[in-house]
Amino acid sequence: KQEVTQIPAALSVPEGENLVLNCSFTDSAIYNLQWFRQDPGKGLTSLLLIQSSQREQTSGRLNASLDKSSGRSTLYIAASQPGDSATYLCAVRAGTALIFGKGTTLSVSS
Amino acid sequence: NAGVMQNPRHLVRRRGQEARLRCSPMKGHSHVYWYRQLPEEGLKFMVYLQKENIIDESGMPKERFSAEFPKEGPSILRIQQVVRGDSAAYFCASSKQGAGMDTEAFFGQGTRLTVV
């Protein structure tokens, strides 16, 4: 059974810091991995999609990597800003459903 | 191009009433998924539908819950005889393809159901 774990559960950093969020999954047989952002009381915004054949994807200050064989992905956020404060969710697709981690709640202080 | 539209955003029901949650997928998307987010828990898959067909309902509770995606109109998630434990945020997602490497899911704003 696929399980997705995100560490840390919460993270507080000062503005400008570079940071890394971690995601691990137990079954490497996945189609893809998606990183989302969720603001309090809001929906999910798709940040990056990494196909199983890819190693990384970049969008602006975000870079996500995927090591399928070890069951790990990282989301790197460069030069963090207060507007980056949100919960970041990692999800893997092995079939029809996305399997989600519980998220990392990020707080960036100015 | 409007995103995934869900309504209502907030819904309050008394125990025993029915709740109907609606989801219109993104334009050009024919695959719809429903997820539930309970307080302090991650999002859990409930059901996957294509037009007029339920493809995978492995995450759906066996009783009181049903879903449809008719040929015309939005997808509907129906919860009959709601109980307090049904209080949660219900999210709908859509994609252009079904399961595959290219399948990227886009989510709506969710419906927050409160059962009193």
Q: pLDDT tens string for chain A (110 positions)?
A: 899 999 999 999 999 999 999 999 999 999 999 999 999 888 999 999 999 999 999 999 999 999 999 999 999 999 999 999 999 999 999 888 899 999 999 999 99
Nearest Cα of chain A lies from the Cα of B99 at a distance, in angstroms, of: 5
Residue A34 near chain B (CB below 8 Å):
yes
- Note whether A33 and A23 are within 8 A (CB): yes
Which positions in chain B touch A30 (Cβ < 8 Å)? none
From B50's Cα to the closest Cα of chain A, the distance in A is 11
Coil, helix or strand at residue B85: helix
A1 touches chain B (CB under 8 A): no
Is there a contact between B102 and A51 if contact means CB atoms under 8 Å apart?
A: yes
Q: Are B113 and B92 within 8 A, CB to CB?
A: no
Per-residue pLDDT tens digits for B69-96 = 999 999 999 999 999 999 999 999 999 8
Of B43, B98, B104, the CB nearest to A96: B98
3-state secondary structure of A82: helix
